[in-house]
Structure 1
Amino acid sequence: MALTPQSSQAFMSEVDDELRRDRLTRFWTRWGLIVGALVVIVLAAFGGYLYWQHHRTQAAAADGEQLQSAYDALAENDTKTADAKLKTLAASNVDAYRALAQFTQADILLQKDDLKGAAARFATIANDASLAKPFRDLALVRQTMAEYDTLKPEAVIARLGGMAVPGNAYFGSAGEMVAIAYLRQNKRAQAGRLFGQIASEKDVPDTLRQRAVQMAGVLGVDAVGQSEDTKTQ
């Protein structure tokens, strides 16, 4: 706490000036170099942080322009140019742009009916621990979609079971695939229950909800009323 002017004067009058100077001299003789070095280190670290922030901002802006340029090339059906730009961005240090570039690469492969190649690209995203979980979860859903016909039902359930729950961002897509996997295992009750949950989920796309209502009905679950209630909420 800072001393008031009055207390400061009282303090100074109690301390011998010569002794005070001697103490200061001994302190700087012993610790001056260390304190000075620490100040230099702190200032250097702060300067480095500011430079890093500036460099990162510039890199992100450049990556954004590169991604937009790739999308523009795709809009003009210039896949060669787009591929070259996306390949560079797929190694970006900016997580969001790296993920978006890799998702776009996978989508291009899907358009070419290269399901195996697309699945491998999605798997790369899903297994990238440096990316945020929503990116990895979406990639796992897309990977499973691409590989669905070649996967055993238990593999689908093991992969997506944790996302096939109401409230999850990818409940609709993951839940539908898990429900169909249950059907392939002849577990009609589990499949019907899950289709019913999808039908009553308000954040699920309408087309997916309609399929869920139909499938739930086939399996003996009346999801029509639930779906109508959800639409009116």
Structure 2
Amino acid sequence: MSDIFHEVEEDLRRERMKKAWDRYGIYVLGAAVLIVLVTAGWRGYEAWRVSSERAAGETYIEVLDQVQGAGTESTAQALEQYADSAPAGYAMLAKFRAATAFADLGNTDQAVTLLNEIADERDNLAIYRDLARIRLAQIYLNNSDPSSAKAAIGPIAQDAGNAYTLTAQELMGLAAYMENNVPEARRWFTSLQDAALSTQAAKQRARLMLALLTQISGAGDTASAGESAAQETN
């Protein structure tokens, strides 16, 4: 008797499954096909991405080989043109190299443009954006533009956790020195000299600059005293 009930139960189960399949089977098949297509598409995209990056890397090396030591405007332009169509990482590297090449050739406007593009690109890692700002400050100082240099790296110099803080502080000190702002220059170089993480070379440069600032300040005080004495004599 129990076997009859068991067979009836099995028949009812198969009937329910058949009805469910008739109603939802097309959706199950569609979902399975979609999973296969998505998986295949993702694998295809990954293969394309790896292939594209490998090709971009090979092209970058070829460009570097072509411009190595050439030192002409066309070599810098070649790097810039490569950056226009390269993947983000290689494009950033090419812009750094092109900016250096343009700066060496005296075309600082184009160098500044490229470095600003790197600094302003939010997809670039912060450490690379800050490095671009450091390089900008160096170019500005080389072109006797201390105010622009300070604007580029001021926040970095104030950020104790930034990887380029000490470099920025040294550049800020040089900018203040170029502006004849002795107190500000002394403040930056003193900070650099006293920083626990400063290298010995950086500390030595800071001490030299502080000694120079002391001489300048002393010479200024002597000149002021001489002027005052001359006025009293007259």
Encode CA deviations 1:37-61: one digit per residue, 9 max, x unaligned. Answer: 2222222112111111111111111
Structure 2 residue 20 is matched with structure 1 residue 27:
yes
Q: Which residue of 1 aligns with 2:169?
A: 175
Q: 5+ unaligned residues in a row in structure 2: which ranges?
A: 1-5, 215-234
Separation (CA, whole Å) in 2 of partners of 1:81 and 1:118: 14
Q: Which residue of 1 aligns with 2:40?
A: 47
Aligned equivalent of 1:199, options 190, 193, 197:
193
Q: Which residue of 1 aligns with 2:116?
A: 123
Q: 1:22 to 1:193 in 2, by over 3 A?
A: farther
Q: Which residue of 2 aligns with 1:160?
A: 153
Say which SS state the counterpart of residue 124 (structure 2) adopts: coil
* Contact preservation (8 Å) 2:156, 2:165: yes
The amino acid that maps onto 1:213 is: R
Structure 2 residue 106 is matched with structure 1 residue 106:
no
Structure 2 residue 90 is matched with structure 1 residue 90:
no
Structure 1 runs (4+) deviating above 6 angstroms are: none
Q: Which residue of 1 aligns with 2:52?
A: 59
Between 1:159-168 and 1:49-58, the stretch displaced more is 159-168
Separation (CA, whole Å) in 1 of partners of 2:71 and 2:151: 39
Separation (CA, whole Å) in 2 of partners of 1:145 and 1:93: 27
Say which SS state the counterpart of residue 156 (structure 2) adopts: coil
Q: Which residue of 1 aligns with 2:205?
A: 211
Q: 1:146 to 1:167 in 2, by over 3 A?
A: same
Structure 2 residue 157 is matched with structure 1 residue 143:
no
Structure whose residues are more often helix by fraction: 2
Encode CA deviations 1:155-208: one digit per residue, 9 max, x unaligned. Answer: 5444322211444222233212222344537361x4333223323446656544
Q: 1:16 to 1:216 in 2, by over 3 A?
A: farther
Deviation at 1:77, TM superposition (A): 2.2
Deviation at 1:74, TM superposition (A): 2.5
Deviation at 1:108, TM superposition (A): 1.0
Q: Which residue of 2 aligns with 1:4?
A: none
Q: 1:206 to 1:81 in 2, by over 3 A?
A: farther
Deviation at 1:15, TM superposition (A): 8.8
Percent sequence identity is: 26
* Contact preservation (8 Å) 1:116, 1:146: no
Q: 1:119 to 1:87 in 2, by over 3 A?
A: closer
Deviation at 1:83, TM superposition (A): 4.8
Separation (CA, whole Å) in 2 of partners of 1:96 and 1:187: 41
* Contact preservation (8 Å) 1:70, 1:83: no
* Contact preservation (8 Å) 1:67, 1:85: no
Say which SS state the counterpart of residue 122 (structure 2) adopts: coil
* Contact preservation (8 Å) 2:99, 2:114: yes
- Matched length: 206
Q: 1:34 to 1:185 in 2, by over 3 A?
A: farther
Aligned equivalent of 2:31, options 38, 45, 55:
38
* Root-mean-square deviation over aligned CA pairs: 3.0
TM-score (norm 1): 0.74
Aligned equivalent of 1:186, options 177, 181, 184:
181
